[in-house]
Amino acid sequence: MLNPCDQDFAGRLAAEIPGLSIKPAEPRYLEEPRGKFIGLPTWVAAPSSTEMVARVVRLASDASVGIQPYGGGTGLVGGQIVTEGPEPLILSMEKMRAIRAVYPAENTLIVEAGATLAEIHDAADDANRLFPLSYASQGTAQIGSGLAVNSGGLNVLRYGMARDLCLGVEAVLANGTVFNGLKRLRKDNTGYDIRHLLIGSEGTLGIITAAALSLAPKPARHGTAFLEVAGPKEALELLNAIRESAGDVVSAFELMSGTGLDFLAEVFPDVRRPFRHNPEWTVLVEIGTSEAVDPEEILSDTFESALETGWVTDGLIATSGAQREAFWAVRETIPQANRAIGAVASHDISLPLSELPEFLESMPTRIAGIADVRVNAFGHLGDGNLHYNVFPPAGRSAAEFKSAAPDLSTLIHDEVVRLGGSFSAEHGIGRLKTGELARYGDPAKLSVMKAIKTALDPHGILNPGVVLD
């Protein structure tokens, strides 16, 4: 049984760890982006070194006080918010954001957990390298949490998820010991890989304090196209055709449904949509090439042959940086438009690529059997990852459909799992999906997960209630 983080415990931390910032939690630590979870009023400690994190964890372990690791607070599954039980100590990584070292010749850098993705992009850019992990929240979202949830984003197709970009981690375990795993090696087969155990554990097995990350050469040239496609199946044919003809150059391949463009027109009319009408399906394709290869030529050759096969029916290729940005603004404003409209239920799903078209075609009719709602499907098509969100019809509110939400989510997740997909592609389990994990998780996997949690955190102080309820 855990004890609450009360004034006495906060006072002990302050007295025993000189220089530790500790104060009552401001509202920003207690809310998450969609307003689904409201945290318990408590205290926030913001250590400025790994040793300080270790001392905080040791004291919390001795006092049986829960620890809530906190990054930028942009997580979408409530993993950074404790809503019930004894108040935990919020452990914010905001003061640990140093770039410890950059090794351009190795294509690696070492960074503290609290650095934002945008800060790491800048550091890589200064060394003429690319750190490819990228998503709309990158100005606030941190790397420690990005690893903790194994985040994905826009460039997974070419460069992989957070896990694929991490060579080593430093972390504080539940008993306060420091795991010194900051290796910069691409090959290191020396027993169990603790790094990969911590990545994706959502702060339930350790606090990541620093990471060794791999960088990529910066593409010298970019080509970006916004294309109207005949449907998701044709979009996938197009993706394969580009990869076959031009090699591994596609960094983003984002699908958007007409509903998403309708939402933009409704709530953000100033965001310029590329077509006069809102096509039923569009894709945003981005390729990055070396100086010697002309990306516009690749895109226009692909465009012409895709027009002939009927995969593409209309399209634009960006001819300037401003146009490229305008294309991306459309894709990146869709989540905000979704929030403004107000979802009945949201789903971060992935499917084997060949199952995707049938899923997208068959689901709307089945959903209509439960409620008269609108579906906005969009996302990282090349990775098989879609945000499949359900909204009220125009003029109605999400609250009116609240009672239908559980049935809608069950229908969608049942079908995803039946087709061999995942009910959480890139956002994690957090607090939101513990029920789904218990329902759909492989029993052997669940029992291994419980055994690992018990072995590494026997008193359950790290992120209580997250992942395993």
Ligand X SMILES: Cc1cc2nc3c(=O)[nH]c(=O)nc-3n(C[C@H](O)[C@H](O)[C@H](O)COP(=O)(O)OP(=O)(O)OC[C@H]3O[C@@H](n4cnc5c(N)ncnc54)[C@H](O)[C@@H]3O)c2cc1C
Q: Which is nearer to ligand X, 142 or 289 (CB)?
A: 142
CA-closest candidate to residue 210, choices 135, 136, 108, 125: 108
Residues in the chain: 469
Applying the rule CB under 6 A, the residues between 49 and 78 that interact with ligand X are 69-76
> Pick from 335, 326, 328, 300: which is nearest to 315 by CA?
300
- At residue 166, φ and ψ (nearest 5 deg) are -115, 125
Distance of closest approach, residue 393 Cβ to ligand X, in angstroms: 25
Nearer CB in complex with ligand X: 116/289: 116
Closest CA to 421 of 410, 409, 413, 429: 413
Among 42, 50, 61, 80, binds ligand X (CB under 6 A): 80
Minimum distance between the CB of residue 329 and ligand X, rounded to whole angstroms?
13
Select 39 or 72, whichever has its Cβ closest to ligand X: 72
Residue 48 in the binding site for ligand X (CB under 6 A): no
In the bound state with ligand X, the residue whose beta carbon lies nearer, of 17 and 299, is: 17
Establish if 79 lies at the interface with ligand X (CB under 6 A): yes
Lay out the site mask for ligand X across 203-222 (x = CB under 6 A, - = otherwise).
x---xx--------------
Total chain residues near ligand X (CB under 6 A): 37
Q: Does 153 bind ligand X (CB under 6 A)?
A: yes
Residue whose CB is less far from ligand X, 234 or 348: 348
Q: Applying CB under 6 A, does 155 fall inside the site for ligand X?
A: no
* Binding range to ligand X, per CB under 6 A, among 100-108, 133-141, 238-246, 251-259: 133-141
From residue 3, alpha-carbon distances to 45, 61, 89, 378, 459 in Å are 17, 10, 10, 43, 11
Mask for 404-433, x = binds ligand X (CB under 6 A): ----------------------xx--x---
**Rule CB under 6 A: which of 28-47 touch ligand X?**
33
Residues 98-127 interacting with ligand X (rule: CB under 6 A): 113
In the structure encoding, which two tokens stand for residue 447, read together?
């029992």
CB of 217 to ligand X, least distance (A): 23
Of residues 449 through 468, those in contact with ligand X by CB under 6 A are: 463, 466
Binding of ligand X by 387 (CB under 6 A): no
Return residues touching ligand X (CB under 6 A): 33, 69-76, 79-80, 93, 113, 135-137, 140-142, 144-146, 148-149, 151-153, 202-203, 207-208, 335, 426-427, 430, 463, 466
